[in-house]
């Protein structure tokens, strides 16, 4: 008689998250730069902490130290290093091993 469409199955949500795009995405590194502090040069100006508070903190001696390499993104890490009045923060490119800041 009538050719009705087959009933659709209930659209209960598939429980899988979207697939990742490509292998290239999953290979992305967390953080291109590594930062280190030359504590002997630190004068406690704290501009690094103000710019990248999830990467730098002042310790009990009021000297900067790195608390995480991926707390803030690379641009903020570099900006924090460039803000340091004594160039106490060294930025190294993880891929090339070259010093990005301060200029050599």
Residue recorded with tokens 């641009």 = 75
Q: What residues does 64 pair with on adjacent strands? A: 58
Q: What residues does 56 pair with on adjacent strands? A: 66
Judged by beta carbon, residue 22 or residue 51, the one nearer ligand SF4 is 51
Q: What residues does 58 pair with on adjacent strands? A: 64
> Which of these segments, 15-23, 25-33, 70-78, 86-94, binds ligand SF4 (CB under 6 A)?
86-94
DSSP one-letter code for 60:
T
Residue recorded with tokens 């087959």 = 6
Q: How far is the CB of 71 from ligand SF4 (least distance, A)?
A: 15
CB atoms within 10 A of CB 83: 15
Q: Does 99 bind ligand SF4 (CB under 6 A)?
A: no
> Which of these segments, 9-17, 22-30, 36-44, 69-77, binds ligand SF4 (CB under 6 A)?
36-44
Binding site for ligand SF4 (CB under 6 A): 37, 42-48, 64, 83-86, 88-89
């Amino acid at each position: 008689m009538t050719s009705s469409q087959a009933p659709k199955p209930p659209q209960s949500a598939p429980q899988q998250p979207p697939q990742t795009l490509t292998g290239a995405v999953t290979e992305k590194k967390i953080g291109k730069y590594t930062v280190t502090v030359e504590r002997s040069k630190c004068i406690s100006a704290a501009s690094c902490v103000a710019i990248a508070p999830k990467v730098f903190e002042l310790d009990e001696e009021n000297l900067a130290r790195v608390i995480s390499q991926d707390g803030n993104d690379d641009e903020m890490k570099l900006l924090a290093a460039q803000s340091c009045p004594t160039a106490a923060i060294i930025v190294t490119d993880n891929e090339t091993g070259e010093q990005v800041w301060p200029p050599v």
